[in-house]
Structures are given as structure tokens and as C-alpha cells.
Amino acid sequence: QVQLVESGGGLVQAGGSLRLSCAASGRTFSRYFVGWFRQAPGKEREFVAGINWSDIDTYYANSVKGRFTISRDNAKNTVYLQMNSLKPEDTAVYYCAATNRVYGNSPRMYDYWGQGTQVTVSS
């Protein structure tokens, strides 16, 4: 069983930065693939970034590539999402999720979810 808690969301101007954190409980968290998703009002939840357990392989949606960086610190049971050059279209609730699979870019592939953190980017 894994429990996830996101933090770090807030209101920022376009061009600004935020760092989201996903703190996990569970002794085996380091073996899970972790993804960040986001969901804007009226839209489906979409994959943003993912990282495998070894912190070697990372994956990004095209819309955030070059602006967002995902990383993890298994000693702290935490995964981060550094978001730079934010745009108004990045506004959404951001969720972290964990899966036993070796990779996941769809919400249905994930077993555990956090409660989400709101990110609002003003123009």
C-alpha cells in the first residue's frame, strides 16, 4: 500500500516557476514508477511526466518538454516536479500517482493517487 501527498502548488505569473513535491508512505515506494498528471476544468486527466524507480529514465509530455523536470529522492520517499517557464495553459490540478508497471502514461495504468494540488498561472 502506498499513500501519496502532493504539495507546492499555488498562483504564479506566466514565466514563473513552481516545484511540486509528492511525498509517499510505504517501504517499497522506491520500486514504483511515479507519474505526474494534470487535469484542467472540463478536460481529461493527462500525463505530464514520469520517472522510473532508478531515477535514470524520465518521460515527458511534448507540451512540457524542456520546461518541466521530474526527479526523485528515494531516501526521502519523495518525487519532485520542477516547473519553469509556466504558461496559463499549465493551469490545472496536478496529481502524482504510482504504479507497479515499469512505465505508465495513462491514468488507468496507476494504482495509487494523491489528492492533487492546484496550480494557477496568470497571464
Taking only the tens place, the pLDDT of each residue in 81-96 is: 999 999 999 999 999 9
Set of cell numbers at residue 95: 496529481
> How far does CA 3 lie from the centroid of its chain?
14
Instruction: Please report the pLDDT score of residue 95 as a whole number.
Output: 98
Q: By the 8 A CB rule, do 77 and 25 touch?
A: yes
Taking only the tens place, the pLDDT of each residue in 58-87 is: 999 999 999 999 999 988 999 999 999 999
Output the CA torsion sign for 9, 7, 98, 52. Answer: positive
Q: By the 8 A CB rule, do 74 and 53 touch?
A: yes
How far is the C-alpha of 62 from the C-alpha of 100, rounded, in Å?
A: 24
Burial of 47 (0-12, 13-18, 19+ CB in 10 A): buried
